[in-house]
Structure 1
């Protein structure tokens, strides 16, 4: 995983005020996951329980039960005990148990804006619950306040273009903290 210095995504819990049709720039406060909703996607599911906030984004016109692509964002609030590589290693084991013949890339570790991070790609040739192949890429980032996991999946064998889209999307994910000069948050317009 390479170190990233630019943020190309939008804040996860971003608040933009619209007054009289004009959008005003705002500064993000505290620690924020920077992740954008892909173009043409919509919020399909949102839940918050047991200290974990989750959102699932799917293409417009699809449902969370029947989707071709999905982005899942999880924020584990105040979970300073979680570590990116072991977390994704456990997910690899769960994936292997749920999908016969599955494969996984080795968990890659690195830094994202100074935070410990890890990523992995998981492939299932035929998911029993759907009867379709599924490929997913995940990035986990250990923030100072919370633990973040972003996943982009396709229910197919990805084309080279889909693979690049998934990879670039996860490379754009970051965490910032307005309290730390070394990890500043972008001004959002």
Structure 2
């Protein structure tokens, strides 16, 4: 599903060490979100296509060149969600809510897997896989489809950040399976994911954050 801010309110153990090296053709995305700089790698071929900032949430969507946020085969989404209370189980709760939205869209072909708590550049993190074998059309002219996504949750000073890679395909009658040969390299391409405190007066590309090891 397209990750709208409203929806997102809703382990790989030692993940960075387990993943292969990322492509050198990626582009570093650095974005100010609620007083912090969020940095991640955007794989070659993707381009920023949508951005929205609100009082409680931020969303940034990128799709392959030539596609749109309304008609896409793959989408990489970064969000920042405010959570002033910052409960210890905040990431798990957020993941469960998003999983619930997936399940509502495809109750009989839904699948969801949490790989457990992990550490992302020294910050608490969580990685989950969600999928729908068949999502019914929501608008006239659309066709049924399958949809799968891997979502990385990272705890931040303001709440939490997500970086999600989603893929659409033809509908299937079964529950999608996590295909490690597909998703492990994709996760590697998004790393490193960094969160840095914003430096007063610093402008893009926020070199103080990108220079960190």
TM-score by length of 1: 0.74
Assess, with a 3 A threshold, how the Cα gap between structure 1 residues 55 and 178 changes in structure 2: closer, same or farther: closer
1:12 and 2:30 equivalent?
A: yes
2:74 paired with 1:66: no
2:104 pairs with 1:86? no
**Counterparts of 1:145-160 in structure 2 under 5 Å?**
145-156=158-169
- State which of 105, 114, 126 in structure 2 corresponds to 1:106: 114
1:62–1:11 Cα change, 3 Å:
closer
Unpaired segments ≥5 residues, structure 1: 15-29
**Distance change (3 Å), C-alpha of 1:109 and 1:152:** same
Tell me what 1:97 maps to.
104
Contact 1:89 1:107 in 2 (8 A): no
Distance change >3 Å, CA 79–CA 138, structure 1 → 2: farther
Root mean square deviation, CA, Å: 3.0
SS in 2 for 1:91: helix
Correspondence for 1:173? 193
Secondary structure of the equivalent of 1:12? Answer: strand
Shift of 1:116: 1.3
Q: Is 2:191 the partner of 1:186?
A: no
Cα 1:13/1:126, change in 2 over 3 Å: same
* 1:138 partnered with 2:151: yes
In the alignment, structure 2 segments of 5+ residues that lack a partner are 1-11, 138-142, 170-175, 200-207
2:66 is the counterpart of 1:38: no
Runs of 4+ aligned residues of structure 1 deviating over 6 Å after TM superposition are 157-160
Q: Distance in 1 between matches of 2:132 and 2:61?
A: 20
Q: How many residues align?
A: 168
Contact 1:132 1:155 (8 Å CA) reproduced: yes
Higher helix share: 2
Match of 1:48 in 2: 53
TM-score by length of 2: 0.67
Distance, in Å, in 2 between the alignment partners of 1:161 and 1:52 is 33
**Paired residue for 1:24?**
none
Asked whether the equivalents of residues 105 and 122 of structure 1 are also in contact (C-alpha less than 8 Å), the reply is yes
